[in-house]
Structure 1
Amino acid sequence: MVSFISGVLKELISSKENISETIFILPSKRAGSFLLKELSALGTHHIFAPKVYSIEEFTEVISEAKTVDNTITLFEFYKVYKAITPKEAQEDFETFTAWAQSLIHDFNEIDRYLIDYKKFFNYLADIQDLKHWSIQEPKTELINNYLAFWKSLPAYYEGLKKELLTNNTGYQGLIYRLASENIQAYAKNHSAKHVFIGFNALNAAEQQIVQHLLENDIAEIYWDLDEVFVKDRQHDASLFINQYLKDWPVYEKKKAKLSVNDYHKSKNIHITGIPKNVGQAKYLGELLANLDEETLQETAVVLGEEDLLLPVLNSLPPNVKDLNITMGFPLKNAPIASLFDRLFQIHQNTGSAYYYKDVISVINHPALSEILKQETEVFIEKIQSENTVNLSSEEIISSFSNEAKPLIEACFRNWDNSPKKALEAFQEIINQIKIHLKSSENKLGLEFLYHFHVLFNKLENLNDAYPHLKSIKSLYQFYKEIMSTQSLDFQGRPFKGLQLMGMLESRALDFKNIIICSVNEGVLPSGKSGSSFIPFDLKQNYKLPTYKEKDAVYTYHFYRLLQRAKNVHLLYNTETDGLNSGEKSRFLTQLEIEKQPAHQLTHAMVSPKVPAIKNELREVRKTPEIMEKLKSLAAYGFSPSALTSYIRNPLDFYRQYVLGVRDSEEVEETVAYNTLGTVVHDSLENFYKPLENKLLTSVDIKAFKAKIEEEITLQFKKSYMNGPVNQGKNLLIYEVAKRYLRNFLNLELDRLKTEEVKILKIEENLKSEIKIEKLDFPIFMRGKVDRVENTNGITRIIDYKTGKVTQDKIEIVDWADLASDYDKYSKSFQVLAYTKMMQDQNSLDFPVEAGIISFKNLKSGFLKFGKKDKPKTKNKETAINREILEAFEVELKKLIIEICEPEIPFKEKEI
């Protein structure tokens, strides 16, 4: 395969052209590098290398001005805007940037296409005057301001142009306009041959430059487009070149350099649909794995989307030993970028205190946790143990050692919404991290860090030169703006091995084997984008590019890549994902419809193998070690909650009580149900504990009611630590806790009118032995009963529940169900367990009642345990006697035997 660049050079050499004196202009720097490589391969003797420019560099040479980036243009524009706009009508910098970016883009297009800006903007202002929605006279202030903006555009344009040219600089479009104006003077002073190679969509300024040089016979332009497309005047690939062949006067006198005839030749084109970007990357890896070293040398992978770079790099097979990546690694994907993003967001949104999750996300970041080491864990444990939701800057900084303080201070000291302080803090953070990375010889980390150092230096210089940034938010906007354009270049051999590039980097280059990814609508071609103030019809009238021309550019690049290729793989994403429709590109349909006779087209749909996973219930066999742990638990005592945990799911019992795995302690932002329960229980314990073995009186209850707020506040402080209870949901829960106590004490007052109540036990610890002949080790049951009282001569065992419990949850029909259905019978199991332990301690006089007081169902009063003979009958036995406890003991022993039986594994229950 003879590449386009090689063919051009051969023609120039054969025409005895002095190559060393020739000036080559190509679409990109990369194409220029390939030209020099091809030239060195073709040369039979030593020559001086010719001058090679990209088109952007060439316009700078002609205009004798330097291109400035979009950020500096924006800052300069704001300076101009403030000078032109009356002070009372001026917007702050953040508001200004919202519309100024689009306007600069439009200025750029107007200059690139050499449009008379005064006529253009007057036309645009008239359109807006016709379009505005107000017909009343006189016009409102809003409408007047709206129209004044459009009428100010010529002044903005002139002011910005003058400001930039004063420093001999300009945005890209302005440089192009200057170059087109200076081309006559340039041509008079330069007689060397200029050779333009591989161009397609030229703007008006470029066309004027090229035509002038052609007409003065000091230039040639070589077009790279197959005659198949040139002859098809309806094909988008030939839209621009056919237009130039028709409109340029120079082609009336001489023939265009256009003699490409490769597209009709034999090609193997494989069109493959694959779900997701990761799927494309993995499939690409499989394709490359089948290629030998020589074939890889002639292969290019073209990525339609930048986001595919990392998945593709992670999917490359081992046989890819040499790799040249034209695309840079986006700086925003560097691991440390997330740390700076986090700090920006925290300092934008934080008032006087920092939210604990924000603080943890910063100190837990890999870049900091490697430096802070154990201090991070200690600090997080402190937050969790003290249940601190909001932290002051002083609290955070004082929690770390003197060695760590400079880094922590830079992260968490108050930046006072000052961009200058923020930039100083970021540079301090970078310096601290650099010290650590140097000591650990982390070269990649240092490379990333250096680029951020350069980025923040640039922001500092901009902030010093243009004092427009007034807040952290505006600084963050520009940080993101600059970072989106920054990338780290990969080191590699540019002409050896597999070539990995984006679509624009492929301009003027040819490869035998091509793999193009993400050939989807919205990617190739990229579709419509609306960042412009210029209406579509106005663009058409002034021959500015619209989405149609943009699509034609992508069409040209796509088909030009295919012209000389022999083997082509076109991959597209079949999945609907976010804004991507999963629709394959129109280019693929065109390939099928316009199929050349020699082209071999194949279609395939590929999807990853997904093995069927059976959701089998897990089980854990009881090893000797597990049995030892169970014996230890039995000797300590099974609690009713442990036994009901086994009933609910044996695997939960195994994790929690055998392995000792507990839920990780976390900061409780909103008061949890168990914390509310603890507060209510502990408050009642403090009230009632001094009354053990005494009669309860209304005087006692009224004294308790007077102390509700004091007691609840104390218990929240004890159980909820530093958690805030004076706002949001927590304030509501705090009030609920007070309401629970008040309602309960009111219920007690009502009872005392008809009942004599003697308090026997409050929060009493119970423990009793369960003798089981089948087990040769001691078994105990233990627990803490909330309250035991004597009401009108009957002993009552009471369990408090802050959740809602209804009467049907504390009744039983068939004893065999007691240890099998957690939802229905766990409450009955618990109160019977407490009753059994009290009987074993000889502290019960029958008859006995046991039950629950539900704080969410206080109107039902004391919910007594009941034994029914039939499910739907209302008749039930509420008095607990020895017969009921014996029946319960039978089920209890069966359950404990099952837990302690070595041959019965812990089996997961299906939920």
Structure 2
Amino acid sequence: MHSTVSILREILLKIEDKNNTVVVIPRPQIVIPLLMEISSVVEEFNVSIGYPLKYTSFYSLFLNIFRAQKNKDRSKYYTKDYLSILLHPAIKNLNIRDTLITKILIERIQYFLQENDSSNISGKIFIELKEIEKEEEIYKDIKSILDTMGINITASDIKDILLLIHNIFFRFWESIDNFEDFSKSFVKLLDFLLDKSLILNNSFNLKILESLYKIPKDFLSLSFKKEKFDKIEIWEIFKQRLESEMISFSGSPLKGMQILGLFETRSINFENVIVLDVNESILPSLKLYNFFIPQEIMLNLGLNPLEKESEIQHYYFKRLISSSKNVYLIYEENEQKERSRFIEEILWEKQKEANSLNVIEPQRFMFYIEPASKQNNIEKTENIIEFLKKERYSASKINTYINCPISFYYKYVLKLTTRDSLLDDPQSKHIGVFIHQLLEETFSVFKNKKPVIDNNFRNFFLKKAKEKFSKDLEKRMGADFFLLRDIIIIRLKQFLQKEAQRSVKKIIALEEEKVDFFKFNSYNIEFTYTIDRIDELEDGTILVIDYKTGGGEVVPKKFRNLQNLEFNRKSIKKNIKSFQLPIYYYFISKEFKSSNVNAMIYNLRSLEEDYFLGEEDYKNKDKILDICLDSLSFIFDEIFNLNVPFEADPDERKCFNCEFNLSCGD
């Protein structure tokens, strides 16, 4: 579409007599981009083709309101439908008190519904308007933001704005059962938009509003306006009316360049004719209408409406170009589109006259589209180095760097993240959070004492698991939630059986956040880490446990592999794999100096235990730790090295799932 109007602009620059020029538009949706493109090269023009209202933002707003009412479950709205209305540009920019207040209100509601998992309304598939209105934390949050911006408003005023939006765009439509009530609600909505929105900033919107105000006027003139109808039927009729509505443009057919549809050109001659979209299925544009007489019977009677329609359009097309001096036929040619039969007919006639196939060589316009340049390495600056030295680090940050430095740059230097929605189906990370929280809440009864996995605890544990699943995950899922729930319950039962067999003297810590420092050269690096669990075993060993609900190798290789380790990032990535267990072991060893310490990955899916120090490596524990710490020092040296850029480390599987793959050269 945009390439077509760009070609048109180039042609118009070469035409001197624009008053004797017509641009023929077979499909009306191209009008707006066309006007935007030619307004700088044509002073006067007249548009005699209507623009369909269904291509405007107003139509999408009414469609969103219709969808919300249609999908409503009693008093509850489908949350995605609710947000689609609030996030519509016409609503998000309402100037009720201040446009900025409305924007922040809607943005924070979206946050509380989609991202703030501590909120009472977060993650719900269906939600009542009252639930949102009663969430006082929303108003406190918005007020604190507005206070920092110097905007004085009370929480009560913010709530009033939300209530007004809910009434106009939701509640007024809930009890509609006749055309009169529908029309009144529709007029209230249009009056509200006219008064509080920014639609008056665009003069074309006024033409749209004129057409929209005619619809309730027509509905109120109906003799059956008070008769009861199903609400969805009223909306369907309204939707059909919107789809048939055309917005007319103002102009004079007596001067300037003319922009017409094919049928508007009948009996008019022009010196210069430019026809856009001369592609099959667009010109001729043939529609199969529903007649009272079946199509097969009409064909048997010799009545073919499609053939008749094609002949009419063919006549107007041939008559128009035959009476002109200069004709420009613009079409697209690609795998999905082919040029119109009308062009093929012209070429065939010329080929017969010249007795040659090479009679008219189409002038081709090529548009080369190149994606924004991708970088597979990014140079460091002094400012970046200073920033990195002041950062607080974690095992996951270091692991990100050894796996792919450029991913580390995007995630921890630029702070780029993908927005996570609690309204989407739960992913593995959400299930991981659920499991970690469940184990902390249930096993906390055994803190500083021996865990006893008896029937009482099993019943308590499984009851808590089901309650927490219902609260945290079930509300985000469809009717098949029970499948995931049952799988999780089976795995948790197996976990309890395994726990009953472990020789644990007492549980020392659960989900404990810690901060410590790692010193090397002249640097003192601050580290933060969260220990899932620390056990004291019957033999006195302090065991640091990290739960995993997914797969992947995260434990360093054995000493026989590590003792010949080359100090470069790729070798460290291959042999150390992850610094999580070495870092846990290092810091916890300092805390429990008089005890034997070990760390392990506890895979809750397979119930496998993978230790940092195996039996054969325990005698070399100091050497293994030194190798890991020297590797960590090397990684920090590289991170702080101005001459080592952040480079991509291609891995087909990981790159495919990487959130930054569109920005990376690999």
- 2:81 — aligned with what? 358
In structure 2, how many angstroms separate the alpha carbons of the residues matched to 1:453 and 1:852? 66
Equivalent residue number for residue 187 of structure 2: 427
- Classify the secondary structure of the residue corresponding to 1:771: strand
**Which digits, 9 at most, give the CA deviation of each residue in 1:576-625, with x for residues without a partner?**
44xxxx23222223223333979996331524331555965344443343
- Which amino acid in the other structure matches residue 579 of structure 2? F
Tell me how far 1:899 sits from its aligned partner: 1.5
Counterparts of 1:228-243 in structure 2 under 5 Å?
A: none
What is the rounded CA distance, in whole Å, between the counterparts of 1:430 and 1:528 in structure 2?
33
Instruction: Render the CA deviation track for 1:471-518: whole Å, top value 9, x for unaligned.
Output: 233223322332233222211222211111111000100001111122
> Does residue 70 of structure 2 align to residue 348 of structure 1?
yes
Is 1:610 matched up with 2:610? Answer: no
Query: Quick one: distance in 2 between partners of 1:322 and 1:380?
Result: 45
2:328 is matched with 569
1:764 CA displacement = 4.0
In 1: Cα distance, 2:580 partner to 2:236 partner: 60
Structure 1: distance between partners of 2:435 and 2:324? 78
> Out of 11, 15, 19, which is 1:297 matched to?
19
- Aligned letter for 1:304? P
Structure-2 separation of matches of 1:339 and 1:822: 55
Gap regions ≥5 residues in structure 1: 1-276, 868-874
Cα distance between partner residues in 2 of 1:897 and 1:298: 73
Counterpart Cα distance in 1 of 2:72 and 2:557: 50
Q: Cα offset for 1:837?
A: 1.4
- Partner Cα separation in structure 1 for residue 568 and residue 579 of structure 2: 7
What's the counterpart of residue 287 of structure 1?
A: 11
From the superposition, tell whether residues 454 and 826 of structure 1 become closer, same or farther in structure 2 (CA, over 3 Å): farther
Q: Which residue of 1 aligns with 2:153?
A: none
Q: Which residue of the partner structure matches residue 167 of structure 1?
A: none
How many angstroms does 1:643 deviate by? 0.9
Q: Which residue number in structure 1 is paired with residue 407 of structure 2?
A: 652
What is the CA RMSD across the aligned residues, in angstroms? 3.5
Number of the residue aligned with 1:257: none
Q: How does 1:696-715 map to 2 (within 5 A)?
A: 696=451, 699-712=452-465, 715=468
CA distance in 2, matches of 1:726, 1:535: 46
Pairwise mapping of residues 92-111 of structure 1 onto structure 2 (< 5 A)? none
Please state how far the C-alpha of 1:690 moved relative to its aligned partner: 4.9
Mapping for residues 482-631 of structure 1, pairs under 5 Å? 482-527=241-286, 529=288, 531-534=290-293, 539=298, 544=303, 546-577=305-336, 582-595=337-350, 602-604=360-362, 606-610=364-368, 616-631=374-389
> In structure 1, what is the Cα distance between the partners aligned to 2:516 and 2:164?
59
- State the identity %: 24
How far is the alpha carbon of 1:800 from its aligned partner?
Answer: 0.8
Per-residue CA deviation, residues 752-780 of structure 1 (Å, 9 max, x unaligned), is xxx4644344334444432222xx33223
Q: Quote the offset at 1:891 in angstroms.
A: 0.5
Distance (whole Å) between structure 2 residues aligned to residue 817 and residue 614 of structure 1: 35
Cα distance, 1:664 vs structure 2: 3.1
Q: Could you tell me which amino acid in structure 1 is paired with residue 529 of structure 2?
A: G
> Residue type matched to 1:852 in 2?
I
Could you tell me how far apart the structure 2 residues matched to 1:715 and 1:556 are?
Answer: 71
CA distance in 2, matches of 1:817, 1:844: 31
2:421 is matched with 666
Quote the residue 1:391 is aligned against: 127
List per-residue Cα deviations over 1:823-873 (Å, max 9, x = no partner).
866765211221111223343634x44321111111xx3222368xxxxxx
Q: What is the CA–CA distance in structure 2 between the aligned matches of 1:466 and 1:302, rounded to whole Å?
A: 41
Aligned match of 1:382 in 112, 130, 141? 112
State yes or no: 1:459 paired with 2:459.
Answer: no
| Equivalent runs, 1:34-49 vs 2, <5 Å | none
Unaligned runs of 5+ in 2: 95-101, 136-157, 656-666
Q: Which moved more, 1:584-593 or 1:425-434?
A: 584-593
- Note if contact 2:613-2:621 (Cα within 8 Å) is conserved in structure 1: no
Give yes or no for the alignment of 1:641 onto 2:396: yes
- Match of residue 772 from structure 1: 520
Q: Which has the higher contact order (CA 8 A, sep 6+)?
A: 2
TM-score by length of 1: 0.61
Q: Which amino acid aligns with 2:4?
A: Q
**C-alpha separation in 1, matches of 2:472 and 2:533:** 21
Does residue 686 in structure 1 map to residue 441 in structure 2?
Answer: yes
**1:410-449 counterparts in 2 under 5 A?**
410-413=168-171, 415-416=174-175, 418-420=177-179, 421-437=181-197, 443-449=203-209
The correspondence of residues 7-406 of structure 1 with structure 2, limited to 5 A, is 277-292=1-16, 295-316=17-38, 318-352=40-74, 353-371=76-94, 372-384=102-114, 385=116, 386=119, 387-389=122-124, 390-396=126-132, 401-403=159-161, 405-406=163-164
The higher radius of gyration belongs to 1
Q: Give distance in 2, aligned partners of 1:516 and 1:363.
A: 40
Distance across 2 between alignment mates of 1:729 and 1:823: 40
8 Å Cα contact 2:423/2:476 also seen in 1: no
Per the alignment, do residues 364 and 419 of structure 1 end up closer, same or farther by CA in structure 2, a change over 3 Å counting?
Answer: farther
Aligned partner of 2:527 in structure 1 is: 781
Of the structure 1 ranges 451-460 and 605-614, higher mean CA displacement relative to structure 2 is found in 605-614
Aligned-partner residue type, residue 728 of structure 1: A
Structure-2 separation of matches of 1:597 and 1:810: 81
Secondary structure, in 3 states, of the residue corresponding to 2:643? coil
Aligned-partner residue type, residue 855 of structure 1: L
Given that 1:639 and 1:781 are in contact with CA atoms closer than 8 Å, whether structure 2 keeps it comes out as yes
Q: TM-score, normalised by structure 2?
A: 0.81
Return the alpha-carbon distance in structure 2 between the equivalents of residues 326 and 742 of structure 1. 73
Alpha-carbon shift at residue 890 of structure 1 (Å): 1.0
SS in 1 for 2:361: strand
| Count, aligned residues | 606
**Aligned letter for 2:389?**
K
Question: C-alpha displacement at 1:426, in angstroms?
Answer: 1.9
Moved more, 346-355 or 376-385: 376-385
Q: State the distance in 2 between where 1:441 and 1:563 align.
A: 43
Change over 3 Å in CA distance of 1:564–1:695 after alignment to 2: closer
Pick closer, same or farther for the CA change 1:440–1:691 going to 2, 3 Å.
same
Q: 1:363: Cα distance to partner?
A: 1.3
What is the distance in 2 between the residues matched to 1:785 and 1:899?
Answer: 25
Question: Does 2:390 align with 1:632?
Answer: yes
Cα distance change, pair 892–516 in 1 and its aligned pair in 2 (3 A): same
